[in-house]
Amino acid sequence: MKSFHITRRMFLQYLSMATAALPAAGLAKRIPTARDNSFSFVFLGDLHFDKLMHHDMNYLKEKYPNDIRQIDNYSRITRENLADLMRVSKERANDTNAAFLLQIGDFVEGLCGSKELASTQVNEFIQLVDRQQFDRPFLAIKGNHDITGAGAKEVYQEIVLPWQSRQLEKPVQSANNVYVYKGARFLLFDCFNEKESLVWLKEAIKEHKKSEVLFFCTHVPVVPYDARSNWHIYVHPDQAGERDELLNLLGEHKAIVLSGHLHKTSIVTRSTPSGSFVQIGLGSVIPYLDAPIKNHLVGLDAYRESLVELEPNFSPASLELRKEILRQEKPHIRHYEYADFCGYSSVHVDGRNNVTMEIYANVDKTPWAAVKITDLFDS
């Protein structure tokens, strides 16, 4: 199994070549221009922006008592670490002259308890983004936490969608959207409106030309890759037909799937009867700025039912189901790498549609890995 990790010297040589065609940082506002179809963007996983004051504690005790500890932790992470993540994300965007930032959902914690509190939480997150002065769009996918809790769905419609309209610079009516930039097409997928979203996808993907790079952006992963192997799109047995349709569409169009939800890092190639696609998993809920990288697994032998042992206390009732899901997926996996950490990423598309990505642990400025994604289709 070939490794995609590189030395610091190799990375700096690669970065010099990757950015040579781009104009100097800071010379343009919003979406920068370039002489060809090369561009970069910053990719962020789940953030779970939160403050204790965003919650009606009586509501939590009644409706979500098991989430109180999580809310306390995410509030601490927001207070201690989010500012540093935003800072390094901006630095990375400026250094690569990134066209935009893409956040893969769960940008807020939700579970507020009222529409008023949910509005406060979302507005404060938008204000936080505005204060960064990124000078480029901030695209956000819908996550489950963004629509969970009293009033959250209404706030998503009334505040989040107009915000995303401004970022996309076009009217936005739902979380399903197409964003085209230079030689790449981004399908922003609402994985919480499954039937309607698949109908939308089958029409939207028809516009994709095989000469274009296709990014399929979804909060919940398509391919299971860790102990929570039942946390992926169309997981229920009665959704097998929809899952096959989705897998084949992604394989036929050689999609690069960007996903979050699991707060882990992964790189997976998945084959289908129509072709292969690559899925990247990323989380950005950084527990501590010096958090260690745990459980780094590489190679096809690592993708097996024993992945459930990574979280031995998670959902004992679903243990056998999760093992069976991994057994069924294993014959279709062509590349696998996994590690337990959160961070951020920088993605580069060159004029020949080669896609590369640097993945950073925590708020490090030296990449944990540099991956040439387009090579992984042939793994």
Q: Where are the domains of the chain?
A: 8-18+39-378
What was the pLDDT predicted at 244?
96
The fold for domain 8-18+39-378 equals: Purple Acid Phosphatase; chain A, domain 2 (3.60.21)
d(CA 111, CA 131) in angstroms, rounded, equals 25
Average pLDDT rounded to a whole number, residues 77-82: 98
Token pair of 264 as six digits: 């882990």
> What tokens were used for 370?
């540099």
Mean pLDDT check: name the lowest of 10-24, 233-247, 258-272, 336-350.
Answer: 10-24
Which residue would you say has higher pLDDT here, 203 or 211?
A: 203
Residue 335: pLDDT band (50, 70, 90) is: very high
- Spatial neighbors of 339 by CB under 8 A, at least 6 apart, are 264, 265, 266, 293, 294, 295, 296, 297, 368
Q: Which positions ≥6 away from 2 have C-beta within 8 Å?
A: none
Averaged pLDDT, 327-346: 98
Query: Is the model's pLDDT at 14 over the cut of 70?
Result: no
Question: Is 80 exceeded by the pLDDT of residue 116?
Answer: yes
The answer to whether 343 and 362 are in contact (CB under 8 A) is yes
Structure tokens belonging to residue 161: 């969608």
pLDDT greater than 60 at residue 160: yes
Give the three-state DSSP class for 263: coil
Q: Is the pLDDT of residue 280 over 90?
A: yes
Mean of per-residue pLDDT scores for the chain: 92
Report which of 290, 212, 295 is spatially closest to residue 256, judged by C-alpha positions. 212
**DSSP assignment of 209-222:** -TTSEEEEEESS-S
Task: Give the pLDDT confidence score for residue 210 in this predicted structure.
Answer: 83
pLDDT in tens, 123-155: 999 999 999 999 999 999 999 999 999 999 999
Write down the H helix ranges in 216-280: 240-252
Q: How far is CA 88 from the centre of its chain?
A: 17
Res 378: pLDDT = 79
Distance between CA atoms of residues 272 and 235, nearest Å: 17
pLDDT, tens digit (0-9, with 9 covering 90-100), for 216-267:
999 999 999 999 999 999 999 899 999 999 999 999 999 999 999 999 999 9
Whether 183 has a pLDDT exceeding 70, the answer reads: yes
Residue 18: predicted pLDDT: 45
pLDDT of residue 194: 80
The b/e string for 335-346 (b: 16+ C-beta within 10 A; e otherwise) is bbbbbbbbbbbb
For residue 357, pLDDT beyond 90:
yes
Residue 284 has pLDDT above 50, yes or no: yes
| pTM over the 0.85 mark | yes
Handedness of CA 33, 36, 40, 41 (dihedral sign): positive
Q: For residue 31, what pLDDT band results from cuts at 50, 70 and 90?
A: very low
pLDDT of the residue at 351: 87
Q: Indicate if the alpha-carbon torsion angle 326, 327, 329, 330 is positive or negative.
A: positive
DSSP conformational letter for 158: I
